[in-house]
């Protein structure tokens, strides 16, 4: 039993092209997520209060600030989220922008490759259809010729009327 695919491959649209405003939008979205989540923070932890306060003091002296997240002051579990200084955030944001750019480029390249593959499949299908039509026409021509030869070989049957 053969399974023939009769669905015709048709490509619609064009692959996406680089759009600087789309890249900028994606970078802005990632930057917003960075600043609105704990990604822009560093967690400070210590088991005893003196160590915890010393770590917080050292970080604050280095430019860190308190975040909107709660400070945990449980026995043997002291922690706080401190917002990184602007210079460190700039480095993180530059890294994020680069990662977003790389991801956007990979997405565009994948889209282009997908369109190439679908076009190739469409062209192969069209060529196979042409070849099949040519082969069928040649086959039909040979069969018609063979039928004509068979018809010419024998004269029509003569049967007397009653």
The pLDDT tens digits for 97-129 are: 999 999 999 999 999 999 999 999 999 999 999
What pLDDT is attached to residue 6?
A: 64
Kindly state whether residue 9 falls inside one of the protein's structural domains.
Answer: no
112, containing H or E segment:
helix 86-153
What pLDDT is attached to residue 8?
A: 85
Kindly state whether residue 110 falls inside one of the protein's structural domains.
Answer: yes
What pLDDT is attached to residue 159?
A: 82
Nearest to 101 by CA among 15, 16, 20: 20
pTM, two decimals, is 0.72
Nearest to 41 by CA among 61, 68, 62, 77: 68
What pLDDT is attached to residue 5?
A: 55
Nearest to 92 by CA among 20, 33, 18: 33
What pLDDT is attached to residue 4?
A: 55
Total structural domains within the chain:
2
Report the alpha-carbon distance of residue 52 to residue 54 in Å, rounded: 5
Kindly state whether residue 7 falls inside one of the protein's structural domains.
Answer: no
Nearest to 23 by CA among 109, 102, 111: 102
What pLDDT is attached to residue 3?
A: 52
Kindly state whether residue 159 falls inside one of the protein's structural domains.
Answer: no
Report the alpha-carbon distance of residue 109 to residue 15 in Å, rounded: 9
Nearest to 52 by CA among 80, 31, 26: 80
What pLDDT is attached to residue 21?
A: 97
Same domain, yes or no: 45 and 91: no
Weakly modelled stretches of the chain, pLDDT under 50: 1-2
Same domain, yes or no: 119 and 130: yes
Q: Quote the domain boundaries for residue 127.
A: 86-148
């Amino acid at each position: 039993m053969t399974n023939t695919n009769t669905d015709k491959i048709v490509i619609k649209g064009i692959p996406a092209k680089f759009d600087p405003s789309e890249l900028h939008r994606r970078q802005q979205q990632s930057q917003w997520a960075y600043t609105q989540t704990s990604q822009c923070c560093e967690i400070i932890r210590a088991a005893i209060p003196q160590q915890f306060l010393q770590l917080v003091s050292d970080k604050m002296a280095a430019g860190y600030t308190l975040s909107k997240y709660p400070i945990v002051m449980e026995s043997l579990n002291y922690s706080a989220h401190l917002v990184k200084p602007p210079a460190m955030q700039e480095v993180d944001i530059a890294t994020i922008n680069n990662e977003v750019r790389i991801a956007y480029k990979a997405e565009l390249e994948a889209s282009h490759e997908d369109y190439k593959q679908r076009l190739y499949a469409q062209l192969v299908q069209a060529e196979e259809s042409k070849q099949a039509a040519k082969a069928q026409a040649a086959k039909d021509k040979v069969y018609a010729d063979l039928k004509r030869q068979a018809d010419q070989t024998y004269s029509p049957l003569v049967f007397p009327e009653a």
